[in-house]
A and B are shown apart, each in its own frame.
Chain A
């Protein structure tokens, strides 16, 4: 009596659309980070004045002892902690070229960033690989995470 189906359109169905629009601001520390990235191509981290923990992405206060932080410059270089290879885009369409998403530990900080790897073939990516950021030219930068094009092997 039961037929298996995975296609809802073969049965009685209703289609709808949820309207949604949102704006997400970067916050105080995020705003500073993106503006420095845009204007000077520099990476900012935040160091706790009390325990010395270095937050990356930067935070305005230390979550361990509630102390205020100070912004410090870091090189943006780091190493691959973890990675995955995406062959489909968010709409499940095949990508012309696979993309490599990596969790990159940023040197001089206690934090990491998820971003793309470039100038490297998927089969050559290794955990622990040293990488450095490649930025868009200054005139094209908008103060967004995509101002970093990708990280490439250092």
Chain B
């Protein structure tokens, strides 16, 4: 049987102040001021943790970077799918097996895609735009390329399919970094 009148525990209209009282987490807190801590008026703990880390490029990229120092671009080959991959990796993600061999690639290639950037990494305006591009490296499978920048070319002259060649730093300046290639320059110009 339904009760005709509301039981005494039925919710009543709750005023905002009731909620504030009922829920201490929402109650105004006590601010801790700088002098409370410096004057040791409140108890506290402090720490300056020693957070050192070592980040490794991994086996494949380490060998790739060391190759750049010698002016060589290394890729890897999987004998099952027969792909030659760059950047190199130790595991073929399609065949789900370790790669089989290391291959030296050429330092020429084709522009797969590119962009023109008028801002730098911190979104600062650049005096001259940079042209990041994915370069399909000769000797690697179609679509296999590395992201780098183009040089000795005006943004308006770049096109997909443009043949390019790596411009290396002087051998003694190379340090085994992707920047050992200064940029890729066109081998041809479309009229």
Q: Hey, which bits of chain A sit against chain B, CB under 8 A?
A: 1-3, 5, 8-9, 11-26, 28, 30-31, 34-35, 38, 60-61, 66, 68, 143-144
How distant is the Cα of A144 from the Cα of B44 in the complex, in angstroms? 8
* Chain A interface SS verdict (over half): mixed
Partner of A2 from B37, B46, B53, B90 at Cβ < 8 Å: B90
Residue of B50, B54, B91 most packed against chain A (CB within 10 A): B54
Q: Hey, which bits of chain B sit against chain A, CB under 8 A?
A: 22-25, 30, 32, 37, 42-59, 61-62, 65-66, 76, 90-91, 98-102, 176
Contact in complex: A2, B98 (CB < 8 Å): yes
Contact in complex: B56, A28 (CB < 8 Å): no
- What number of A-B contacts does a CB cutoff of 8 Å give? 93
CB distance from A143 to the nearest CB of B (A): 4
CB distance from B163 to the nearest CB of A (A): 30
How distant is the Cα of A30 from the Cα of B42 in the complex, in angstroms? 10
Partner of B37 from A3, A20, A23, A30 at Cβ < 8 Å: A23
Partner of A20 from B42, B49, B61, B76 at Cβ < 8 Å: B49
Contact in complex: B45, A24 (CB < 8 Å): yes
Partner of B59 from A3, A19, A34 at Cβ < 8 Å: A3
Besides A14-B55, A25-B43, A26-B42, 10 more A-B contacts (Cβ < 8 Å) are A9-B54, A11-B57, A11-B62, A12-B176, A13-B54, A13-B56, A14-B56, A22-B46, A60-B24, A61-B24
In the complex, what residues of A have CB within 8 A of residue B176's CB? 12
In the complex, what residues of B have CB within 8 A of residue A68's CB? 24
How distant is the Cα of A28 from the Cα of B72 in the complex, in angstroms? 64
Contact in complex: A8, B98 (CB < 8 Å): no
